Amino acid sequence: MNYETIIVEKKEKVILFTLNRPDQLNALNSKLIDELGDGLTNAELDENIGAMVITGNAKAFAAGADIKEMKDKTFATAYMENFISKWEAITSCRKPIIAAVAGFALGGGCELAMMCDFILAGESAKFGQPEIKLGIIPGAGGTQRLTRFISKPKAMEMVLTGRMMDADEAEKSGLVSRVLKDEDLVSEAIKTAQSIANLSLPSVFLAKDSVNYSYESSLSQGVEYERKLFHSTFSLEDQKEGMEAFIEKRKPNFKNR
């Protein structure tokens, strides 16, 4: 399918989604969200794909929800269409998604990055939730995910002031997993995604599920849940292959079974 607002490229077992509204700093309008949702669904269904990367361009990952598109909404229209709810579809993907962020990741852009499984940041990355300056508040999980990722005091400061955080501060705060040179960002994100895609996909799904469960459970419930999933991995052919390959000092040949 031809998309207008995203570019989709297949890189071996990885799909690279490039947000593509550069003249609007990749502002997230409804078309882009629909197209990204469609692309992610296709990648989920494609047996040859094991992971995804979402990126933007050198100036912006995404500068937020499209202010021009939403400015005339009323409470009734926003509420009745359940505005923004579609975005959450990203979080139901089972295959890992890496956000590769350079430039601005603001408002909905920061929220989109946080919906991914982890964020790799280029040195130029700037994160922020500036909605308060527009007379609104974050609406795609910013107050919830940022608070869980970087602690309440920092999240509160960012949400109440709209202050931006650079890549270095974002790494120190735990928002991003690694900071890379801008020129290496996308290639390193694809390499990382490729390394995940070459593992046993059922185990990758279980690992992702288990880490995500830690946000929804108490510690003892989470540990119990993890243990059960761990037990279930012994039903996989890939578990036998992984352990035999280790003992035989060779690379495993996972079959996703």
Q: List, by residue number, the catalytic residues.
A: 65, 108, 111, 131
Longest dimension (CA), the chain: 64
Q: Which stretch binds ligand CAA (CB under 6 A): 126-134, 204-212, 215-223, 241-249?
A: 126-134
**Distance of closest approach, residue 105 Cβ to ligand CAA, in angstroms:** 10
CB of 83 to ligand CAA, least distance (A): 8
Closer Cβ to ligand CAA, 64 or 122, answer by number: 64
Number of residues forming the site for ligand CAA (CB under 6 A): 22
- State how far the Cα of 142 lies from the Cα of 14, in Å rounded to an integer: 27
**59-74 CB burial, b ≥16 within 10 A, e <16:** ebbbbbbbbeebeeee
Q: How many CB atoms lie within 10 A of CB 54?
A: 27
Task: Give min distance, CB of 19 to ligand CAA, in A.
Answer: 12
**First-residue to last-residue Cα distance in the chain:** 30
Question: What b/e readout covers 1-33, taking b as 16+ CB neighbours within 10 angstroms?
Answer: eebebbebeebebbbbbbbbbeebbbbbbeebb
Collect all residues with Cβ–Cβ distance below 8 Å to 166 and sequence separation of at least 6: 125, 126
Shortest gap between Cβ of 48 and ligand CAA (angstroms)? Answer: 33
139 binds ligand CAA per the rule CB under 6 A: yes
What sign does the dihedral 145-35-66-181 (CA atoms) show?
positive
Binding to ligand CAA (CB under 6 A) within 56-115 occurs at: 63-68, 84, 104, 106-108, 111
- Closer to ligand CAA by Cβ: residue 28 or 100: 28
Taking CB under 6 A as the binding criterion, the range among 135-143, 176-184, 211-219, 248-256 that sits at the site for ligand CAA is 135-143
- The DSSP letter of residue 86 is G
- Give the x/- contact pattern for ligand CAA in 197-236, rule: CB under 6 A: ----------------------------------------
Q: Which stretch binds ligand CAA (CB under 6 A): 24-32, 50-58, 93-101, 172-180?
A: 24-32
Which residues contact residue 23 at a Cβ distance below 8 angstroms, ignoring those fewer than 6 apart?
none
Q: Is the dihedral of CA 84, 34, 198, 190 positive or negative?
A: negative
Residue closer to ligand CAA (CB basis): 122 or 130: 130
The site for ligand CAA (CB under 6 A) is made up of 24-25, 27, 63-68, 84, 104, 106-108, 111, 130-131, 134, 138-140, 142
